[in-house]
Amino acid sequence: MKVLVTGGSGFVGQRLCQALVEADHIPLVVSRAPDKARSRLPEQALVRQSVADFADQSPSAIVNLAGEPIAEGRWTEKKKKELLQSRIEITRDVVKLCEQLETPPAVLVSASAVGYYGDQGSRDVTEQTTPHDEFGHRLCRAWEAEAVKAESFGVRVAILRIGLVLDAGGGMLAKTTPVFKLGLGGKLGDGKQYMPWVHREDIVGMIMFLLEREDLSGPFNASAPNPVTNAEFTRALGRALNRPAILPAPAPALKLAFGEMSRLLLTGAKMLPRRFEEAGFRFRYERLDEALAAIFRS
């Protein structure tokens, strides 16, 4: 089938497009820079600049991943606007396409993030948990609400509340590994904040699972069943790289350096993939040590 992918040139999107091709599907990738994107994608992928450009292709499914990177730089008012607009506008385009097509796609799998829940301390967080109201929550809530509008055109909508995606070549490990390799790694603040994580293979597996399972819709926590605290993550990464990780970054220094964005580093949610487990999704990587060992082995 033809699967339209926004953000297909990104860290998750590139691996998803490979998996789609391996399963005999054709990825239709929306990218602001098609030539650059093409060089990162399988040759079977068709790349165009906007969602509307694919109206003639009548995709059977849509995966919506595009958005301005959230963990880069301070959250100035301008940056916050970009974070929101870059997600809302393309999601609106996706819904518009669903409205216009004679045969709308059967399913839309749309990204959101663990940030939907805001700071939750150490309590277990399922899809039923009441979120904490803060910028991350408002951003994800608006993004999800836009995607859900596709339901009025008969489209099944599944939302992925994604945890930290781990693999080589991108995401948070691309930023932290060099620091840890220099022996300069350490916990952030008191290290008690939870960091729900997911291996990139499993997030791609979850997307494929939701594309296929016609009985599934609504929000899904997209992270491994064993979330860890920042202190545990720090120790596991130090072990995987065989380096000490004993230089903590104090909370006041992070707040000074990153302003409100430091909430991403200093707060978290012990997110559990309750609905994926109930639906019978099989994780390849359930434990952080196994995931990191596989990543650094390859």
Ligand X SMILES: NC(=O)c1ccc[n+]([C@@H]2O[C@H](COP(=O)([O-])OP(=O)(O)OC[C@H]3O[C@@H](n4cnc5c(N)ncnc54)[C@H](OP(=O)(O)O)[C@@H]3O)[C@@H](O)[C@H]2O)c1
Residue with tokens 């202190």: 231
- CB 76 to ligand X: min, Å: 15
Question: Per CB under 6 A, which region of 59-67, 91-99, 232-240, 254-262 contacts ligand X?
Answer: 59-67
* 162 is a contact residue toward ligand X (CB under 6 A): yes
Give the N- to C-terminal CA distance of the chain in Å, as an integer: 31
H or E element, residue 295: helix 288-297
Compute the distance between CA of residue 39 and CA of residue 64 in angstroms, rounded to an integer. Answer: 20
The dihedral through the CA atoms of 224, 212, 140, 76 has a sign that is: positive
C-alpha distances (whole Å) from 261 to each of 57, 86, 184 are 39, 18, 21
Question: Per CB under 6 A, which region of 7-15, 127-135, 241-249, 286-294 contacts ligand X?
Answer: 7-15
Contact 162, 210 (CB under 8 A): no
Tell me which of 11, 194, 220, 283 binds ligand X, using CB under 6 A.
11
* 204 is a contact residue toward ligand X (CB under 6 A): no
* 113 is a contact residue toward ligand X (CB under 6 A): yes
The footprint of ligand X on this chain (CB under 6 A) covers a number of residues equal to 26
x/- track of binding to ligand X for residues 67-106 (CB under 6 A) = xxxx-----------x---x---x----------------
* 295 is a contact residue toward ligand X (CB under 6 A): no
Q: Which residues contact 89 (CB under 8 A, 6 or more apart)?
A: none
Tell me which of 26, 28, 97, 164 binds ligand X, using CB under 6 A.
164
Residue closer to ligand X (CB basis): 33 or 256: 33
Compute the distance between CA of residue 45 and CA of residue 230 in angstroms, rounded to an integer. Answer: 38
> Reduced to 3 states, what is the DSSP secondary structure of residue 65?
coil
Residue closer to ligand X (CB basis): 154 or 167: 167
- CB 164 to ligand X: min, Å: 5
- The backbone torsions φ and ψ at residue 210, rounded to the nearest 5 degrees and listed phi first, read -70, -30
Binding residues (CB under 6 A) for ligand X: these are 7, 9-13, 31-33, 37, 65-70, 82, 86, 90, 111, 113, 162, 164-165, 171-172
